[in-house]
Structure 1
Amino acid sequence: MNKINFNRLQNARIYRGFTIAELSKELGISKQAFSKYETSDNVPLEKVFQIAKILNFPTEYFFQSEDKYNLEVKSTYFRSLLTTKKKCREEQIAKMKCLSIIHYIFNEYVEFPNLNIPDDLPFDITPEEAANELRKHWNLGNKPINNIIQIAEENGIIVTKFETNTDNIDAFSTLINLENKGLYLVALNKNTTSACRIHFDVAHELGHMLLDEYNEDIEALDREEFKNREKIANRFAASFLLPKDEFIKDVSLYPSNLDYYEELKKKWKVSIAAMIYRARELNIISQYQYQSLFKKMNYRGMIKKEPLDDMLKTSEPSLLNEAIDILLDNQVFTKRELLDEFKEHGFFIGRENMESLLNLPDNKLLPEDENNRKKIVSLKNK
Structure 2
Amino acid sequence: MTQTELASIAGVSRQSISFYESGERVPEPATMNAIADALEQPMAFFVKEEPPTFGMHSTNFFRKVGADTKRRNMACEVMARWLSQTAYAFDSIANYPAVDLPAFEPSNRGSPGYDEDEIEEIAEQVRQLFGLGLGPISNVVRLLESKGVLVCRVEMPGEKVEAFSFWSGARPFIFLASDKDSGARARFDAAHELGHLVLHRWVDAVEIEDKDRLKEIEREADYFAGAFLLPRKSFPNEVFTPRLTAFVDLKTRWKVSIAAMIYRCKSLGVFDEQQVTNLYKQISAKKWRRQEPLDGPSGLPIEQPILLRRVVELVIESGRMEKDEIRAALSFNPPMIEQLTGLPSGFLMPESAEIDFVPSLKSIE
TM-score range, shorter chain: 0.7 to 0.9
Q: Following the alignment from structure 2 to structure 1, what is the Cα–Cα distance between the partners of residues 252 and 354?
A: 44
Deviations 1:116-145 (A, max 9, x none): 111366634611111111101110111101
Distance 1:218 1:274, change over 3 A: farther
The question of whether the paired residues in 2 share the 8 Å contact of 1:80 and 1:168 is answered with no
* Cα separation, 1, equivalents of 2:333 and 2:291: 37
Pick the aligned partner of 2:323 from 310, 335, 338: 338
What is the percentage of aligned positions where both structures have the same residue?
29
Preserved CA contact (<8 Å) 1:339 1:351: no
Give, in angstroms, the shift of residue 273 of structure 1.
Answer: 0.4
The residue number in structure 2 matching 1:201 is 189
Match of residue 370 from structure 1: 352
Q: Structure 2 vs 1, CA of residues 282 and 341 (structure 1 numbering), >3 Å: closer, same or farther?
A: closer
- Alpha-carbon offset, residue 71 of structure 1: 4.6
Letter in 2 for 1:282: L
Quote the residue 1:249 is aligned against: 237
Partner of 1:62: 46
Q: State the match for 1:351 in structure 2.
A: 334
CA distance in 1, matches of 2:208, 2:61: 12
Q: Would you say the 8 A contact 1:144–1:267 is kept in 2?
A: yes
Match of 1:378 in 2: none
Residue type of the alignment partner of 1:349 = F
- Structure 1 counterpart of 2:32: 48
Question: Does the Cα contact within 8 Å between 2:163 and 2:178 map onto a contact in 1?
Answer: no
Residue 86 of structure 1 pairs with residue 74 of structure 2: no
2: CA distance, partners of 1:204 / 1:20: 35
Equivalent position to 2:264, from 257, 260, 278: 278
Deviates most, 19-28 or 261-270: 19-28
CA gap 1:65/1:83 in 2 versus in 1, 3 angstroms = closer
| Secondary structure in structure 2 of the residue aligned to 1:74 | coil
The one-letter code sitting in structure 1 at the alignment partner of 2:218 is E
For 1:183, the equivalent position in structure 2 comes to 171
Letter of the 1:143 counterpart = G
Which secondary structure state, in structure 2, belongs to the residue aligned with residue 258 of structure 1? coil
Post-superposition CA distance 1:81-123 (Å, at most 9, x none): 3585211111111011111112111011100011111136663
Assess, with a 3 A threshold, how the Cα gap between structure 1 residues 83 and 143 changes in structure 2: closer, same or farther.
Answer: farther
Alignment of 1:307 onto 2:307: no
Once the two structures are TM-superposed, the CA of residue 77 in structure 1 deviates from its matched residue by 0.7
Distance 2:196 2:230 in 1: 18
Is this contact kept in 1: 2:63–2:164, CA < 8 A? yes
- Per the alignment, in what secondary structure is the counterpart of residue 100 of structure 1? helix
Per the alignment, do residues 283 and 65 of structure 1 end up closer, same or farther by CA in structure 2, a change over 3 Å counting?
closer
CA distance in 2, matches of 1:70, 1:270: 33
Shift of 1:342: 4.7
- Give the letter aligned to residue 193 of structure 1: D
1:163 CA displacement: 3.8
- Gap runs ≥5 in structure 2: 109-113, 356-365
Unpaired runs of at least 5, structure 1: 1-17, 374-382
Closer, same or farther: CA 305–205 of 1 in aligned 2, 3 Å: same
**Quick one: distance in 2 between partners of 1:108 and 1:308?**
42
CA contact (8 A) 2:124 2:231 kept: yes
Query: Could you say which structure has the higher strand fraction?
Result: 1
User: Structure 2-normalised TM-score?
Assistant: 0.88
- Describe the SS at the equivalent of 1:77: coil
How far does residue 274 in structure 1 lie from its aligned partner after superposition? 0.5
1:100 correspondence with 2:80 = no
Cα shift at 1:350: 2.9
Distance 1:328 1:68, change over 3 A: closer
Distance 1:143 1:121, change over 3 A: farther
RMSD between aligned alpha carbons?
2.2
On the 8 A contact 2:62/2:163 being kept in 1, the answer is yes
Query: Helix, strand or coil for the counterpart of 2:19?
Result: helix
